[in-house]
Structure 1
Amino acid sequence: MRKSLRAAAFGAACVVAGAALYGAGAATAGQSTANSTHEPYNIGLLTKDIDTYYGTTVDGNGVYQASPDSPYAKDLAQIDADARRYIARAAHTARAHHQQPAVMFDIDDTLLLSLDYEKRNNYGYSSATWNDYVNRADRPAVFGSPELVQYAHSMGVTVFYNSGLTEAQRDAAVTNLKKVGADVNLDAGHMFLKDKANPPAYLEDCAVPGDWKCTTVQYKAGTRKHIEDDLGYKIIADFGDQYSDLDGGYSGRTYKLPNPTYFVG
């Protein structure tokens, strides 16, 4: 379930953005705050902190973009550097044990940045506006992520994708990923999307045709289990911007990419 910035993500967002939480007893000059209220972090200040973290700018087309020299970009660069070193080692180890190494990538805000959508919708969400945004297929890349896809592929590691996008959004996702340079294994056998009308048999514990009850963790971990147990791969690393992208096992080393704009439980 996706929750907007105006819901449960306040605390996590301000931690990621590097802001101090204005809790009980905190006050500015000339103000007082009751100690018992546990007042949340001010949303106006939080959105400013998020803009600072992303280095948010507006390009010539009026699109909100993250800055390549922002704290966000620097955090991603550290993750990318560590992941490259690890993939090289883990792929070698897997092959030494006669295993076929694979990596898993989420798509939204792991490969394709949705900052423009979040800003324009005041960090809210509706399925209709989100679907229109996705189908435009013009989101920019998350810094370094398409290059990491290509690096894993160059190391002989099989790339899979596991996304909360739907089957109806497949063509747009493929088009957008090609645009940003993540043009690796974009076929249906490697890109797993939600199909609530006809869920795969390996999710039968939580989904049957027309009755989808899978949580994000059940869906994503169940897909990873299928890739390992049924398809015969060894997932050495899993990349996502939400903890629910990574929890549930069958993931190897997990890499949580920063995203202070929404929460998926």
Structure 2
Amino acid sequence: MRKSLRTAGIVAACAVAGATLYGTGTGAATADNAPARHTAEPQNIGVLVGEIDDYYGAYQDADGVWRSSPKSPYAKDLARIQAKAKKDIRKAAAAHGGGHGAKTGGHGKKPAIVLDVDDTALLSFDYEKTTNYTYDNGTWDAYVKAAERPAVFGMPELVEYAKSKGVEVFFLTGLSESQRTGAVTNLAKAGYDTQLDTKHVFTKNKTTPPAYLDDCATPAKWECTTVQFKEGTRKHIESNGYDIVGSFGDQVSDLAGGYADKTYKLPNPTYFVE
């Protein structure tokens, strides 16, 4: 399943936009104990889709593939976040001694950054538009394995900048182990000129989960939430001698749980992952 827990369709986009669609009561609802519900009318779905199109500068190319404009508000928001991140990376690299392989400072650990893949490194906008913001395991799996997604604007350049400062680059994705080849192939095609081996790209392996996730995953049963999976993996990366100076994701759940000096939330109003 895409990442971990996906709220399908436009309902997810409405949730991201801030509409309260469901009650939040924790007990069983009864006539005398019904969960509280928001009484304001949610934003109209048609209007919201139009706003999302405008935000991405949506257009179809000659092959009918949905693209985002590099002049869109989305691209401008990304550029603003990336400019701040580059300043932070420069300062963090200097604190670690600067240059390739620097290990001074930061308790002797080498600086690193961690990036999510879906809509952090690779843009899935064509899938969202084509499916009208709904999700299906089969179509998503085929889309990932086709390895045709473009890079998220500016992110290959950010990775290259980090590497130039001696910062190690890791990818941490909720994509399954069976989707690893598609993801790695796509990252390389999209311009990520960095190490993409199993030590640098972490996928969700439910069949043979790593020992460092033994609090929530065993070969018999996977119970890790998105936060637990990503938190545990970042902790593992740091245990191998790295200081994660920056963690990048398009979902709050990509970033929660610690084990990163700074976090950078990239915009994504098209779906929500708990």
In 2, Cα distance between equivalents of 1:78 and 1:6: 27
SS in 2 for 1:261: coil
1:33-91 superposed Cα distances (whole Å, 9 cap, x missing partner): xxx84111000000000000000010111100000000000000001111111101012
Q: Structure 2 counterpart of 1:248, which letter?
A: G
Match of 2:7 in 1: 3
Matched, 1:247 2:245: no
2: CA distance, partners of 1:9 / 1:47: 9
Structure 2 residue aligned with 1:233? 242
**Does residue 192 of structure 1 match 2:202?**
yes
Contact 1:22 1:42 (C-alpha < 8 Å) held by counterparts = no
For 1:250, what is the secondary structure of its paired residue?
Answer: coil
* Equivalent position of 1:28 in the other structure: none
TM-score (norm 1): 0.89
Check if 1:121 corresponds to 2:159.
no
Q: Which residue of 1 aligns with 2:33?
A: none
Secondary structure in 2 matching 1:234: strand
Give the root-mean-square deviation of aligned CA atoms. 1.6
Contact 1:4-1:261 within 8 A present in 2 as well: no
Q: Please report how far the alpha carbon of residue 22 of structure 1 lies from its aligned counterpart in structure 2 after TM superposition.
A: 11
Query: Any idea what the Cα deviations from partners look like across 1:97-139, whole Å, max 9, x if unmatched?
Result: 4221010000000010000000111100011110000011000
On the 8 A contact 2:16/2:271 being kept in 1, the answer is no
Confirm or deny: 8 A CA contact 2:244 2:260 kept in the other structure: yes
Q: How many residues align?
A: 246
Q: Which runs of 5 or more structure 1 residues have no equivalent in the other structure?
A: 16-20, 24-35
TM-score, normalised to structure 2's length?
0.86
Residues 1:58 and 1:104: Cα distance change in structure 2 (over 3 Å) = same
List structure 1 runs of 4+ shifted beyond 6 angstroms: none
Query: Match for 1:162: what amino acid?
Result: L
Distance 2:171 2:116 in 1: 6
Q: Following TM superposition, by how much is the alpha carbon of 1:248 offset from its aligned partner in structure 2, in angstroms?
A: 0.2
Shift of 1:180: 1.1
- The amino acid that maps onto 2:113 is V
Unpaired runs of 5+ in structure 2?
Answer: 22-37, 97-103
Is the aligned partner of 1:157 residue 2:161? Answer: no
